[in-house]
Structure 1
Amino acid sequence: MIEEVRDWSVRRWGLLGLGFGVLMMAVALGLEHLAGLEPCPLCIFQRMAVIAAGLVFAVAVLHDPGGRVGAALYGLVSLLAVGTGIGLAGRHLWLQSLPADQVPSCGPGLDYMMEILPLQQVVATVLTGSGECAEVGATLLGLSLPGWTLIGFLVLGLVPLGLLARALRRRRGYRWPGLTERD
């Protein structure tokens, strides 16, 4: 089984990542539009990280490079997007764990900030957090939505790691220069 997974193409890894990213977005949009849970600014940034990873996976599927360099490139770029999502979800969980007296005050909505502030200031404001990001809106099995999102990003992170492992493994029959059969 492990040998089979190790031989997966970049396209197969990309399809796996793209499919899981679509599932994560479907859950997020379902919670917003069907359950009526309004996303906070950090939730929206986490969605952007899922979309960024999904775009990298989609390009990997379409390109399907056969070589190790392509697998490494798609693995690194998608790992950057997934790592950003992990950081954002972790920050969100940290804000939710703060005592009530240390929670930042609620700020303006993301749409309003995007209209009046420069992009760097919007990003800084969102990452600093606001009271709305610290609210625990819903839980499932005792875990808040950012906790589930963090788990989703960790699972999604297996795809870039698989791509990187594919790029780093030696080709069958490859011998290191200078080594003999008995080395």
Structure 2
Amino acid sequence: MIEELQDWSVRRWSLLGLGFCVLMMAVALGLEHLAGLAPCPLCIFQRVAVIAAGLVFAVAALHDPQGRVGAALYGLVSLLAVGSGIGLAGRHLWLQSLPADQVPSCGPGLDYMMEVLPLQEVVATVLNASGECAEISARFLGLSLPGWTLIGFLVLALAPLGLLARALQRRPGYRWPGLTERD
């Protein structure tokens, strides 16, 4: 199995990541429009991280670089986007774990903040004081939606890690140390 993954191209890893980003966004939009769950500011930022990773994967799939540098570059940039999503989902879970008396107060809505505040201040406000993000609006199998989103980002991280592993291959016939060649 590992030997097969070693042979995956940048395009294949990128299409895998892009497909998972599409799945994550489909679930998010389905929960919003079909189940009526309005996204909080942190949920919206997590969506931005998914979309950013998806865009990197789409460009990487179209470009399909054959060299190590291209695979490493796309791997690092997509890992940055996915890592941002992991951080945001972790922050969201932390807010939900706070006792009710320690939850930051709810600020103005994200739409209003985007109209009147600079982007840096909006991000800082959402990350530092988002009481509405502490609400648990739904659970599935005992996990809140940010918990599932965190799991989704962790699974999604496999694609950039695959791209980075691809970049580490030194030559076409290279096999990872410790693996036997049975083929």
State whether TM-score is above 0.5. yes
Gaps of 5+ in 2: 175-183
For residues 51 and 58 of structure 1, what CA distance do their matches in structure 2 show? 10
For residues 173 and 28 of structure 2, what CA distance do their matches in structure 1 show? 46
For residues 129 and 25 of structure 1, what CA distance do their matches in structure 2 show? 25
- Is residue 36 from structure 1 mapped to residue 36 from structure 2 by the alignment? yes
Aligned AA (2:135): E
Instruction: Give percent identity, aligned residues only.
Output: 88
For residues 43 and 129 of structure 2, what CA distance do their matches in structure 1 show? 11
Aligned AA (1:162): G
* Cα deviation 1:128-167 (Å, max 9, x = unaligned): 1321100000000000000000000000000000000010
Q: Is the 8 A contact 1:95 1:129 kept in 2?
A: no
Gaps of 5+ in 1: 175-183
* Cα deviation 1:44-85 (Å, max 9, x = unaligned): 000000000000000001000001110000000000000000
1:11-160 equivalences in 2 (<5 Å): 11-160=11-160
TM-score for the superposition, normalised by structure 1: 0.93
Q: Pick closer, same or farther for the CA change 1:166–1:100 going to 2, 3 Å.
A: same
* Cα deviation 1:11-30 (Å, max 9, x = unaligned): 00000000000000000000
Please say which structure displays the higher CA radius of gyration. Answer: 1
Name the stretch that deviates more: 165-174 or 9-18. 165-174
For residues 120 and 16 of structure 2, what CA distance do their matches in structure 1 show? 33
Aligned AA (2:153): F
Q: What RMSD over aligned residues (CA atoms) do the two structures have, in Å? A: 0.9
How many pairs were matched up?
Answer: 174
